[in-house]
Each structure stands twice: as C-alpha cells, then as structure tokens.
Copies of this chain bind each other. A is one copy, B any other.
Amino acid sequence: MTVYVVQIWVKTGHEADFIKACEKNHLETRKEPGNLRFDLLQSQENPGIFTLYEVYRNDDAVLAHKETQHYALWRETVEPWMAKKRQGNKFSSCLPRDESHW
C-alpha cells in the first residue's frame, strides 16, 4: 500500500469551506478502484491544521488519482485558503499486514 500523510494549514475563517471542499473530493476519491481511505482530520490544538490520510493500493493508483477532475477541482478550490504550502509525506504500509484490513 502507498500512503500519503499530508499536513495542511488553512487560513483562519476558512476551516468550514475547506472541510466542505474536501468532502466532495473525499466522496469521489473513495469511488476510485485504487483508493482505500481518504480521511480528513482536524487538529484539536489548532483548528487551522488538518491532516489528510490517503491510502492507495499502489503508486499507479496515486497517479490515477492525480489525473482526476475532482482532484484538480479540489486543488483549485482550496488554493486561496492555504495559509502555507501543504506538506505531504509518502509511506509504505507495515501494519495491518493483511490487505483485507485496509
């Protein structure tokens, strides 16, 4: 599995807009055959900090996601609300070992 953990900093006052834009992207991304999770989290300490937890079957599924219309629309929509450049880190899954648990 290929997993991206993305930290996102949203300008104050645009948190609800951001969540709404992510929901459209979340619903469409979850329909992609190579996507397994697309969780959005909001920091309890600082509500302007979000994390996206994106799980794909492999790198090809990541590339397929980046070519979708919903991804392009999400990027364009949220851009004005970014307090700074988002930071994504790419991981391989260790646990759970069983693919059916993802």
Binding site for B on A (CB under 8 A): 2-3, 5, 19, 22-23, 26, 30, 38-45, 49-51, 53, 89-97
Whole-angstrom CA separation of A26 from B98 in the bound complex:
12
Copies per assembly: 2
Contacts of A3 in B (CB 8 A): 39, 41
Whole-angstrom CA separation of A41 from B97 in the bound complex:
11
- Within the complex, the shortest CB–CB distance from A22 to chain B, in Å, comes to 6
A19 and B94 contacting across the interface, CB-CB below 8 Å: yes
A91 and B26 contacting across the interface, CB-CB below 8 Å: no
Contact among B2, B41, B90, B94 for A94, CB-based, below 8 A: B41
Contacts of A91 in B (CB 8 A): 41-44, 51
Whole-angstrom CA separation of A19 from B97 in the bound complex:
11
